[in-house]
């Protein structure tokens, strides 16, 4: 139950602070700006701390979930997702050695795969919705990597990677929380 609560808190606070940062960032446009643009300049302290907090909560949750589900695969996938998210905040855009890009890719890839991997641990229809959201995220990531933005701009396509896994994470967190209350 605690693992689900940590995921829900992490994702929710990040979504709220991302919206706050988008509103505060001068001239920000969701179609034409990357999400990580929020991690530099005026909004950097809010954005970077928020995504680091998200990552830390996901890492802790991955450890707690291992105790419950005994799945190394699921635990490792979630750990890597949280590790990547923390790294996005620690290494904002412009960091040396493309560390930011590596951390972003780590988060995007393993979050999408995690959504698919929970299929074995959730009942229908949650399992099916999780798979669909993971596929949407990974498909959007592939399109994004090849510069295919479908008229959404690079910022809009990046959100097509992120929003499905946010939705999945909240769905999965709700499942874990309610499963623990029975």
Per residue in 12-63, pLDDT (tens digit) is 999 999 999 999 999 999 999 999 999 999 999 999 999 999 999 999 999 9
Kindly state the average pLDDT of the residues 177-181. Answer: 80
Whether 134 shows a pLDDT value over 70: the answer reads: yes
**How confident is the model at residue 85, as a pLDDT?**
98
**How confident is the model at residue 132, as a pLDDT?**
98
**How confident is the model at residue 179, as a pLDDT?**
86
**How confident is the model at residue 92, as a pLDDT?**
97
**How confident is the model at residue 181, as a pLDDT?**
58
Q: What is the pLDDT of residues 100-129, one digit of tens each?
A: 999 999 999 999 999 999 999 999 999 999
**Mean pLDDT across the chain, nearest whole number?**
96
User: Within 10 A of 67 (CB to CB), how many other CB atoms are there?
Assistant: 9
Whether 182 shows a pLDDT value over 80: the answer reads: no
- pTM of the entire predicted model: 0.95
CA distance 177 to 5: 6
Check residue 29 and report its DSSP letter. -
User: Cα-atom radius of gyration of the chain, to the nearest Å?
Assistant: 16
**How confident is the model at residue 180, as a pLDDT?**
65
- Biggest CA pair distance of the chain: 49
Confidence at 68, pLDDT banded by 50, 70, 90: confident
Q: What is the pLDDT of residues 71-80, one digit of tens each?
A: 999 999 999 9
CA distance 24 to 41: 11
**How confident is the model at residue 79, as a pLDDT?**
98
If DSSP states are collapsed to H, E and C, what string results for 102-157? HHHHHHHHHHHHHHHHHHHHCCCCHHHHHHHHHHHHHHHHHHHHCCCCCCCHHHHH
């Amino acid at each position: 139950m605690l693992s689900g609560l940590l995921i829900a808190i992490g994702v929710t606070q990040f979504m709220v602070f991302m919206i706050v940062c988008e509103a505060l960032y001068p001239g920000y446009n969701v179609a034409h700006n990357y999400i990580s643009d929020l991690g530099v300049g005026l909004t950097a302290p809010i954005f970077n701390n928020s995504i680091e907090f998200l990552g830390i909560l996901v890492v802790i949750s991955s450890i707690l979930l291992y105790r419950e589900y005994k799945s190394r695969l699921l635990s490792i996938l979630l750990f890597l997702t949280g590790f990547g998210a923390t790294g996005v905040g620690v290494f904002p855009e412009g960091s040396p050695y493309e560390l930011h890009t590596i951390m972003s890719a780590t988060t995007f890839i393993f979050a999408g795969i995690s959504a698919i991997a929970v299929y074995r641990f959730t009942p229908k229809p949650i399992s099916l919705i999780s798979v669909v959201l993971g596929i949407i995220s990974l498909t959007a990531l592939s399109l994004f990597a090849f510069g295919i933005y479908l008229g959404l701009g690079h910022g809009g396509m990046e959100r097509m990677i992120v929003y499905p896994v946010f939705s999945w994470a909240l769905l999965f967190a709700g499942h874990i929380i309610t499963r623990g209350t029975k």
